[in-house]
Amino acid sequence: MDKLVEHYGIVLGESTIRRITEGHAQKIFETGKAPQVWPTQPGGSVVVIVEMDGGMVPIVEPDSTKPDQRKGKKLQWKEAKICLAHPQGSKTLAYGGTLQGDVVAAGQQLFDCAVRAGFGTRSHIHAVGDGAPWIADQVEDQFGAKGSYLLDFFHVCDYLSAAAKAIVPDTEGQKRWMDAQKNRLRTQRSDELLQTLQAHRVESGCRAVAVGSACLFPSLSFDGAQVAWP
């Protein structure tokens, strides 16, 4: 409630906040099971952009053995898998998500978002993500040849930084090495970067290099070796 006052300058009673939140939760529950029906129509968009990620959220669970449900509450953390989709060039978003189920359930939510955003028989799915293998796997499982996965530039550099520290001993050398790899990515030469990482992984067996390669290799080589940058 304090955050509403701080950010929006309005005051709402706790019961009102609870009623609105539970109303949205009920709607999410009623539409939570996304139908897995492959589209038979061309669809409303040639390219549908999709994204998905996971994050930990706090869940408060009451103690059912206590008569006063306000007492004995337990705080637990669960991963919320959230996704969105929109036609290329559009700001109209379709959202989905789940706190229950596994990555397959999250992939089904992603598929449903894409359909609601205009995915059809003539559409292509352009997925953007941080390189998490489970997200790339779901893009492939849900959309097959209709989908491609794009690893964003920020996370590429994050993965590369671990490799740089293992490959180059000094700070200045690490910066030059990183600049060279960024240039490769910006000039569509990601195959050269992958060869470099693979060579160092084979030669040194260093864990940091292995981590960098493991994160980058499946994402960059998945359906087109694509990388995004600002």
User: What was the pLDDT predicted at 224?
Assistant: 36
**By three-state DSSP, how is residue 131 classified?**
coil
Q: Is 89 left (phi over 0), alpha (psi -120 to 50) or beta?
A: left
How many other CB atoms are there within 10 angstroms of residue 219's CB atom?
25
- Res 130: pLDDT: 87
The answer to whether the CB of 227 falls within 8 A of the CB of 150 is yes
Asked if residue 153 lies in contact with residue 229, where contact means CB atoms within 8 angstroms, the answer is yes
What pLDDT is attached to residue 126?
95
Q: Which residue type, as a one-letter code, is found at position 140?
A: E
Which residue blocks in the chain are alpha helix, DSSP H? 2-8, 14-30, 103-116, 133-143, 153-167, 171-186, 190-204, 207-221
Are 36 and 111 in contact by the 8 Å Cβ rule? The answer is: yes
Contact in structure between 116 and 83 (CB atoms under 8 Å): no
Which positions ≥6 away from 153 have C-beta within 8 Å?
185, 227, 228, 229, 230
- DSSP string computed for 35-67: ------S--S-SEEEEEEEEEEEEEEE--TTSS
Residue (of 170, 190, 171) closest to 180 by Cα position: 190
Tens-level pLDDT at each residue, the chain (230 residues): 677 778 788 888 888 888 988 888 887 777 666 567 888 898 888 999 999 999 998 988 888 888 887 788 888 899 999 999 999 999 999 998 888 878 999 999 999 999 999 999 999 999 998 888 899 999 999 999 999 998 888 888 888 888 888 888 899 999 999 999 999 988 888 888 888 887 776 555 555 554 455 445 444 443 333 444 33
Q: What is the pLDDT of residue 33?
A: 63
> How far out from the chain centre does Cα 192 lie?
26
All structural domains of the chain with their residue ranges: 1-30, 40-129, 154-228
The bridge status of strand 47-61 relative to strand 147-152 is unpaired
Structural contact between residues 93 and 84, judged by C-beta atoms closer than 8 angstroms: yes
